[in-house]
């Protein structure tokens, strides 16, 4: 089976692409969703995070205070690496286990921090959803209500656009409207279906 890693910066349109591919019958698994599930109350990963970062991160219902953890790791590379060391091996194994039971021509792994975490080896091809930074800022501001400064901080913490573009096998340009994005995604889907047939 052909395995495609889907990535892109914040506000690039990854979710729109992955949701559309899912609607076309393509199996999709998302690293961010996995990470959320792995830190549910009483999970081994949450216990490890609590041990590494402190009991104050767990509320009275036993849930993780994500906002506080984000503040701790955001501007601190060594703390971020500690968190990644807890979560990323688990996410990688969950994705590998999931791939073993898929039978479609191709599958999508949504990995927003693909290049930051050097997980390119998980996939045969890398699909990048790309857009201008000004558009990313506009979309995230409208979607999440964050300030320009907050969004710029997030963008600065991710690899730059040039690194993504040079590391991608396939690129969907998302500088137009939603219809343009859907059409580009359809074309990419047809390419992968043909590529997977040839691969096998």
CATH code of residue 20: 3.40.50.300
Do 77 and 157 sit in the same domain of this protein?
no
Of 66, 97, 128, the position where a domain reaches its end is 97
Tokens at 95, concatenated: 């994705």
- The whole model's pTM is what? 0.89
22 and 113 within one domain: yes
Last-in-domain residue among 77, 97, 117? 97
- Return the pLDDT at 200: 63
**pLDDT grade for 179, boundaries at 50, 70 and 90:** very high
Task: Give domain status of residue 32, yes or no.
Answer: no
- What's the rounded Cα separation, in Å, for the pair 22 and 107? 10
Q: Where are the alpha helices (DSSP H) in 24-105?
A: 31-38, 44-53, 66-74, 77-100
Do 74 and 166 lie in one domain? The reply is no
**What is the rounded average pLDDT of the residues 70-99?**
89
Out of 7-16, 41-50, 99-108, 140-149, pick the least confident: 140-149
Q: 161-188 burial by CB neighbour count: b if 16+ within 10 A, else e?
A: beebeeebeebbebeeeeeebeebbeeb
User: Which domain, by its residues, includes 173?
Assistant: 1-27+102-200
The structural domain count of the chain equals 2
């Amino acid at each position: 089976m052909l395995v495609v890693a889907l990535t892109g910066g914040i506000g690039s349109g990854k979710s729109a692409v992955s949701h559309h591919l899912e609607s076309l019958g393509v199996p999709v698994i998302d690293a961010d969703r996995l990470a959320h599930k792995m830190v549910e109350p009483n999970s081994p990963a949450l216990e490890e995070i609590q041990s590494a970062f402190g009991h104050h991160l767990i509320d009275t219902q036993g849930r993780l205070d994500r906002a506080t953890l984000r503040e701790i790791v955001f501007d601190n590379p060594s703390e971020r690496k500690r968190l990644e060391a807890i979560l990323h091996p688990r996410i990688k194994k969950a994705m590998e286990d999931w791939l073993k039971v898929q039978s479609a021509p191709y599958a999508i792994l949504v990995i927003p921090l693909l290049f930051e975490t050097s997980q390119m080896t998980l996939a045969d091809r890398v699909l990048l959803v790309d857009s201008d930074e000004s558009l990313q800022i506009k979309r995230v501001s409208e979607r999440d209500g964050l300030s320009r400064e907050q969004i710029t901080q997030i963008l600065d913490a991710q690899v730059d656009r040039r690194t993504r573009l040079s590391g991608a096998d396939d690129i969907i340009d998302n500088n137009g409207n939603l219809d343009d994005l859907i059409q580009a995604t359809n074309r990419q889907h047809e390419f992968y279906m043909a590529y997977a047939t040839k691969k096998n």
